[in-house]
Structure 1
Amino acid sequence: MSNQTLHLLSQWAPLKDKHQWVLGLIYKTEGSCYRKAGALMLFSDDGHQLGILSGGCLESDIHRKARRVMQDKKVRHTIYDDNDEEDIAFKLGVGCGGVVHLALLPVEAENCYLSLEKAYQTLLNGQHCRWKLNLEDISNSQVSSPSEVQQLNKLAKLDDHVNYAPPYIDIPFTCPPHLLVVGGGFDATFVVKMAHLQGWTVSVWDPRPAQARVEHFSLANYIVSSSEVSAVSEHMSVHNVDAAVLMSHHRNIDAEALKALSAHHLQYIAMLGPKHRKEEILSLAQVEESAFSGVFVSPAGFDIGGELPESIALSVIAQCHSVLAGKESSGKR
């Protein structure tokens, strides 16, 4: 299961009243740390550990402290200082060299589950939101209002900045990226697997009956079962697709899809094939490269020297991730 916020909350929500829960929240860091401010993890009295707050070094100690919170329902703050020889982080040999400020908060009906249930429903509806909490008065938690959510979703990219002004922390909760894969061949299965491992939502479309078969794409969230490219465009409008990879290995299919994609705002569009093929497909689609508001790249993926489908999938997903995270804007190889 992915560590995306939506996935963590989807595991917690059905069990929220069946166990005692404590939220571990990193609200401040200093120096080099494995996770940054805004990282969440949920612990239960039945041994659940949903999420991750370190590289696996601190979770056992955090869970031990979380059990005390379950017993007395009191908020606890703890600091892990990897520079302090007397600190547990130093003794465990974490080695990052930073300082982590952590809050452990009871999550129960009496404090409205810290508004995590509301945040979950917002994410489940495909909408970004911001979660705001008073660390000194945890009954005072908020999730973006419907009007604020609407405004956030109008933005091309949600501001991912965590705001911490003691005692208040304001954290963005974003939906997992949604990737459309055009092409249902063998190599596409690896792209879907890689995206699934990231916790992304994945849709697959291929108009050919022999391709994009359900038994080959069990990890995909959606398979658009239509031979008409208009169905893809409609699907994208309904499900807020963020990125697309064209890998049908068929000129007309890629051209039709590319033309449809040009009508939507996508942060990343990539197409397999050599550079000369890109010009050919653009010509067939009767679309100018300038028509794409996001990054359009062909050949797809970073040049990592791979030739096998697994390596190509790795390079494409890595490049897509980089663009979606705002780390790669040119799309040039």
Structure 2
Amino acid sequence: MSNHVNHLLAQWLPLKDKHNWVLGFIFKTEGSCYRKAGAMMLFSDAGHQLGILSGGCLESDIVKKAQRVMTDGVSRTAVYDDEDEEDIAFKLGVGCGGVVHLALVPVNKDNNYLSLDKISQTLSKGHVCEWNVAVDGSEGACKVLEDNTGSPRKAVLDTLGGKRSLSVLMMPPIHILVVGGGYDATFMTKLASSQGYLVSLWDPRPAQARVEHFPEVNYLIDDPTTEGVRLHLNEHNIQAAVLMSHHREIDAKALQLLSMQSLTYTAMLGPLHRKQEIMDLAGLSDTNFTQYFASPAGFDIGGELPEHIALSVIAQCHAVFHTKPTHLKR
């Protein structure tokens, strides 16, 4: 199960009027902390706990405080200081050494659900938005941004007229296309899905990409033509792709198509000599890719099993989207 905000809100949305809900969100941290400002968790009077605010060490105390907010409807803040011997964080043996500032606020019609419903709808459409929420829980706003290619950034805490508010950039889940529906692709799609990615799968061969082998895939493209794939790419705002069909012509045709797309991350499995063969067959060169293109795909983590390869590729993809170093290529 993914802890991506899109996944959490998708669970909460159909239940938002059926229970009393409290939103817990970190608005400030000092030093080393498991989660940073902008992290959120939702609690209900029916026992729902959606998301995490720590490594699991603070949640028991946070739940108690959230229940008080449900009872009286009064927003609260809490501070967990891992270096203060009198603080609950120290007594729980958290060990991170930092300070977490947390807000616990009601979520209901009276404060327009703090715009969490709008955030859910926006992210589900593949759009980026900026969430501004008052630390006291009095209001929240969702501003849809036109640029869907932005990079994640730290949340910003501001004070205006004595009122504190947090600005959080909300990014939709990465949507990745996997080309190739063989056995090894099951590991790639499972790992991508567990990270909160949306996953599309395409393989024009009838014997491959069978739906019963890929239950976690969001979209199974049944059109065997690259034109069908192109239409799917444009409709679903796909940002990443991995070629792993182990078939030269399929990879070459897919690579031709992907070279004309503005994907943030493109990767192709296979050694360097195979890369050159596929590039020649497709009539392409590295200059045809304006953004990150990895072949061989993934980081060199010393693994050779399908699950190792999937780990190395998804890790590299994640690094690219979060503008982290990617020099550990094979």
Q: Give the TM-score band, short-chain normalised.
A: over 0.9
The answer as to 2:283 corresponding to 1:290 is no
Contact 1:295 1:330 in 2 (8 A): no
Alignment deviations for residues 9-49 of structure 1 (CA, whole Å, 9 cap, x no partner): 01111111111110001000000000000000001111111
Say if 1:73 and 1:50 are closer, same or farther in 2 by CA, change over 3 A: same
Alignment deviations for residues 210-242 of structure 1 (CA, whole Å, 9 cap, x no partner): 111111111100011111011111111111111
- Residue 134 of structure 1 deviates from its aligned partner by 1.9
> Match of 1:196, as an amino acid?
S
Contact 1:24 1:105 in 2 (8 A): yes
Aligned residues: 326
CA–CA distance in 2 between the matches of 1:298 and 1:4? Answer: 28
- Residue 331 of structure 1 deviates from its aligned partner by 6.9
Q: How do residues 89-168 of structure 1 correspond to structure 2 at under 5 angstroms?
A: 89-136=89-136, 138-144=137-143, 148-149=144-145, 151-153=146-148, 156-166=149-159, 167-168=164-165
Say if 1:229 and 1:330 are closer, same or farther in 2 by CA, change over 3 A: farther
CA–CA distance in 2 between the matches of 1:287 and 1:9? Answer: 42
> Match of 1:25, as an amino acid?
F
What is the TM-score when the length of structure 1 is the normalising length? Answer: 0.95
CA–CA distance in 2 between the matches of 1:172 and 1:189? Answer: 32
Candidates 291, 303, 308, aligned match of 1:306: 303
The answer as to 2:216 corresponding to 1:219 is yes
> Match of 2:324, as an amino acid?
K
SS for the counterpart of 1:211 is coil
Q: How do residues 273-284 of structure 1 correspond to structure 2 at under 5 angstroms?
A: 273-284=270-281
> Match of 1:77, as an amino acid?
T
For 2:22, the equivalent position in structure 1 comes to 22
- Residue 273 of structure 1 deviates from its aligned partner by 0.7
For 2:181, the equivalent position in structure 1 comes to 184
Q: Is there any run of 5+ residues in structure 1 with no aligned partner, and where?
A: none
SS for the counterpart of 2:147 is helix
- Residue 157 of structure 1 deviates from its aligned partner by 2.3
SS for the counterpart of 1:152 is coil
| Aligned-pair Cα RMSD in Å | 1.2
- Residue 121 of structure 1 deviates from its aligned partner by 1.1
CA–CA distance in 1 between the matches of 2:150 and 2:214? Answer: 29
For 1:58, the equivalent position in structure 2 comes to 58
CA–CA distance in 2 between the matches of 1:172 and 1:139? Answer: 20
For 1:206, the equivalent position in structure 2 comes to 203
- Residue 60 of structure 1 deviates from its aligned partner by 0.9
For 1:196, the equivalent position in structure 2 comes to 193
For 1:85, the equivalent position in structure 2 comes to 85
> Match of 1:295, as an amino acid?
Y
What is the TM-score when the length of structure 2 is the normalising length? Answer: 0.96
For 1:48, the equivalent position in structure 2 comes to 48
- Residue 299 of structure 1 deviates from its aligned partner by 0.9
CA–CA distance in 2 between the matches of 1:331 and 1:152? Answer: 29
The answer as to 2:32 corresponding to 1:32 is yes
CA–CA distance in 1 between the matches of 2:199 and 2:155? Answer: 27
Say if 1:185 and 1:219 are closer, same or farther in 2 by CA, change over 3 A: same
SS for the counterpart of 1:232 is helix
| Runs of 4+ residues deviating >6 angstroms | none
For 2:260, the equivalent position in structure 1 comes to 263
CA–CA distance in 1 between the matches of 2:150 and 2:179? Answer: 23
